[in-house]
Amino acid sequence: MKDPVVQEGMQIYFYLNRIRNIYFHYLLISAVILFLVWPSQSFYYYLDFNRHPQSFQIISIATLIILSFYSIRLGAQVYSHEDFHTMAEWLNLSPTTAAALLRGKIVLSFFHTLFLLTLSLPFLLASLSVSGLSLSELCFSLLVVFTASLTCRIIGLLLAAIFAERSFLLELSLMLSLIILYIPPISLFPQVSATTILLNVGRSSFFPAAALFFTLLLTALILIRVRFYFIILKARKETL
């Protein structure tokens, strides 16, 4: 039996023009960045003297920033709010339970984040060899970007559950979340900064950042589940 939450999300993400425009803009921006960071000198210059450009690192960091921005907003349903059933509607106007809704949202977030990351794969592959890196570094970077983007997606879902009826506060909280998640760790806690890890790919460990992202992800999921129950209780009070 198909999950109705996942089915609705897939229909929106692949048939709605506003969402498909995001994919086009994402590919266009990635192509422009690749063009800007592509080495202007011959390949043998870098290969012979081991002076590889950081094209791959720049592309991977740009992918992280772009995907995090889109992921947190897609998680909050900013681009297609009127086309989705709201979380209150799923919980109060359908037989969907809080557990089933959360499970569907997680599955949808996982596969759609994976799809978005797949779109960036050709650009990452194109910059891999000129940067003197191997497929193991590519897999490492993909893991970092995917984990961070999925965390942003779930945080967006949490903020949408909290500020569903307050659009200004929702937009403000989304931007503040991205700033807090990425900017302070660069100088204060570089070992858990996804940006720093991608910049030093091949020389850094992902375990500290993975622990942080896993903690944020788990905390967000727990808070979403609690928020769902408050939505249900509010609806029951209004019907009494």
Q: What is the 3-state secondary structure (H, E, C) of 80-134?
A: CCCCCCCHHHHHHCCCCCHHHHHHHHHHHHHHHHHHHHHHHHHHHHHHHHHHCCC
Judge whether 150 and 217 are in contact, CB under 8 Å.
yes
Residues 154 and 71: their CA atoms lie apart, in Å, by 8
Judge whether 170 and 93 are in contact, CB under 8 Å.
no
- pLDDT value, residue 81: 65
If we measure between CA atoms, which residue out of 220, 238, 212 comes closest to residue 102?
Answer: 220
pLDDT tens-digit profile, the chain (240 residues):
578 889 888 888 988 888 999 999 999 999 999 888 887 655 545 554 455 678 899 999 999 999 999 999 999 988 866 677 788 888 888 888 888 999 999 999 999 999 999 999 999 998 887 887 889 999 999 999 999 999 999 999 999 999 877 888 999 999 999 999 998 888 888 888 999 999 888 788 888 888 999 999 999 999 999 998 888 887 766 665
- pLDDT value, residue 240: 53
- pLDDT value, residue 130: 80
- pLDDT value, residue 184: 86
E-assigned strand segments in 97-144 = none
- pLDDT value, residue 2: 77
Q: Output the pTM of the full model.
A: 0.90
- pLDDT value, residue 40: 64
To 10 degrees, the CA torsion angle through 112, 223, 210, 182?
Answer: 80
Residue spans per domain, the chain: 4-239
Judge whether 230 and 90 are in contact, CB under 8 Å.
no
